[in-house]
Amino acid sequence: MKRLSERTIWVIAALGAGVVGALILMLFHGPGPAPVAKPASATTTPPAVAKPSSVNLTKLDPVGGTTGESLLREEATLRDPTPLFLPTPWNAGESAVPKTAQREPGGSFPGYAPKLTYAELELQVALPDPVAVPKKPADAFAIGRPAQSFLGFGQGDPKVRPLAARGAYVEVVAAGDGRSLLALALTDARPPNDAPWQPLQFLVAVDAAGVVRPPVLTESSRVAAVDGYFQNYLTDALHVGERLGPGFYRICIGP
């Protein structure tokens, strides 16, 4: 076989590289021919021209306005980027509330006077009283239990004896020093009037012979028949002249 020369080999390689490059260029072809625009007829509607967008600024009425303005005002309030920890109409005043809104008596959210300085004695921390920690874990179950565990067991209603029937109660007090000398229930007293009567009071003077004169009424029972009955009862039935020594006495009688 005849051996190819070096020149022939380079020619064949160059032709092969040219074919490969042509195939690669065919893969990257450009766009096709532009379509030919048809002439516009008389009945064809011309395409709408888009208007350029614009941003307008407006001032919203803070009180009134139309329905659209109310919606815009609410949306602007919701999208307000102002931090709430800064003074705003919502947390530093009442201007955000409409004037027609019903308010509490005395106004809502009243203001406080500013206090910009504090004394050293005012900066005190109020700490609670120290709590005693139980020494043993079992002692923790005893916290909160009453001191008397069986309080209430075995108790019953006390028996109250009814008072003895009486017509009145009398107390004799010395007029000079206020000492109580006699106090007893009058079981045999029968006031003539069944209507309720108030306590009454007499002043009595006693000497060695007995009552100097009939008891003097100083506080009435508001019933004349009861007053007269006890005035006679002190001397005729109770016999205060024989029971008491010489002196002046206040005698109080109650139901």
Strand locations in the chain (E): 168-174, 180-186, 200-207, 210-211, 216-219, 247-254
Q: What is the pLDDT of residues 34-47, one digit of tens each?
A: 555 555 554 556 56
Residues 72-94 have pLDDT tens digits of 878 887 887 777 677 766 666 65
More confident residue, 146 or 142: 142
Residue 190: alpha-carbon gap to chain centroid:
59
The C-alpha atoms of residue 83 and residue 165 are separated, in whole angstroms, by 83
Distance from C-alpha of 16 to C-alpha of 19, rounded to nearest angstrom: 5
Asked if 193 and 223 touch (Cβ cutoff 8 Å), the reply is yes
pLDDT digits (tens, 9 = 90+) for 177-236: 888 888 888 888 888 877 788 888 998 888 888 888 888 888 888 888 888 888 888 888
Give the whole-number percent of the chain exceeding pLDDT 70.
Answer: 67
Buried b (16+ CB within 10 A) or exposed e, 159-169: eeeeeeeeebe
What contacts 169, CB < 8 A, 6 or more positions away?
183, 184, 185, 186, 253, 254, 255
Answer whether 181's CB lies under 8 Å from 174's CB: yes
What is the domain partition of the chain in residue ranges?
168-254
Under the banding of pLDDT at 50, 70 and 90, the label for residue 33 is low
